[in-house]
Amino acid sequence: MPMFNTKKVANFYREFRLTIWLLLPSLVIQIFAGDWHEWLRYQQLEVTQGQWWRLITANFCHSNWYHFGLNMLGLVMIDYFYQPVINHRWRFWLMWFCLLLNVILLHWLVDLSWYVGMSGALHGYLIGGALITYFQYKIINSLIIVIVTGKLFLEMVWDINFTASELIEANVVEESHLFGALSAVFFYGLFRGYQYFSGHPISYSPDSPPANPNAYHSDIEEKPGPHS
């Protein structure tokens, strides 16, 4: 009798592969923190000098194990929440879009010497998933959007993250949360824009069949024309 069910392991990997792909490099970097952080975290001067990889790798660095744990817990919860309604392909593109654009916006718009963490992209992942599936689950998605938007507003007005700052031993960059959410809004605009201009529906549900280019015209019955 096998010690483990390979089918269950394969199913687990298929469902959580986005989480695994983001968690494992974050874990390795955290284990070997120190010199690795010096080469991987976002640093404004170094990025300006051409070290562009930091715009992505900064998301996988964390200030301490509490910071790592909070981000990974958020990743697991959000990814698990959206698995039944958004397929892996679109969850993958949404999360990676937010990972990159969030730090690019920080680089362009905020005078920040250095930055680490995935919380900005996670805010985007949460908002983006609610936008993509909004018309399917209006009540729960409306709550998500209202709560996250309210949190972002409070962060900009009051210092509500002082406890978190003490825990992670670093200042919480509230702008990253805002830019993560804006990245998701921009992604959703591209998502809907493609649907509108191409005339092709996008299958984002895990159980959806491949998109049919003729779906928008399926109710038109073709009738034979006159013979010449």
**Following DSSP, what letter does each residue of 127-170 receive, concatenated?**
HHHHHHTTTTSHHHHHHHHHHHHHHHHHHHHS---HHHHHHHTS
Tally the C-alpha atoms within 13 A of residue 157's C-alpha that lie toward its C-beta: 6
Most confident segment among 23-27, 169-173, 200-204: 23-27
**If you average pLDDT over residues 166-185, what whole number do you get?**
93
- For residue 205 the two structure tokens come to 């549900």
Q: Is 114 helix (H, G, I), strand (E, B) or coil?
A: strand
pLDDT band at 214 (very low <50, low <70, confident <90, very high): very low
CA 157 to chain centre: 25
**pLDDT single digits (tens) 78-89:** 999 999 999 999
**What whole-number distance in Å separates Cα of residue 33 and Cα of residue 6?**
34
pLDDT band at 215 (very low <50, low <70, confident <90, very high): very low
**pLDDT single digits (tens) 18-58:** 999 999 999 999 998 878 888 999 999 999 999 999 999 99
The answer to whether residue 63 scores a pLDDT higher than 60 is yes
**Model-level pTM?**
0.85
pLDDT at 138: 95
Residues in the chain: 228
Most confident segment among 15-19, 46-50, 198-202, 215-219: 46-50
- For residue 96 the two structure tokens come to 């990676």
- For residue 62 the two structure tokens come to 């964390």
**If you average pLDDT over residues 94-101, what whole number do you get?**
97
Query: Among 57, 60, 74, which residue's Cα sits nearest to residue 125?
Result: 74
pLDDT at 117: 95
Share the mean pLDDT of the chain. Answer: 87
Residue 53 backbone phi and psi in degrees, to 5: -60, -25
pLDDT band at 2 (very low <50, low <70, confident <90, very high): low
**What whole-number distance in Å separates Cα of residue 122 and Cα of residue 117?**
10
Q: What are the residues whose beta carbons fall under 8 Å from the beta carbon of 141, sequence distance 6 or more?
A: 130, 131, 133, 134
- Check whether domain 6-207 has CATH 1.20.1540.10, yes or no: yes
Query: Among 177, 183, 144, 211, which residue's Cα sits nearest to residue 70?
Result: 177
Q: Is 43 helix (H, G, I), strand (E, B) or coil?
A: strand
The answer to whether residue 8 scores a pLDDT higher than 90 is no
Give the start-to-end residue ranges of the domains of the chain: 6-207
- For residue 125 the two structure tokens come to 């992942």
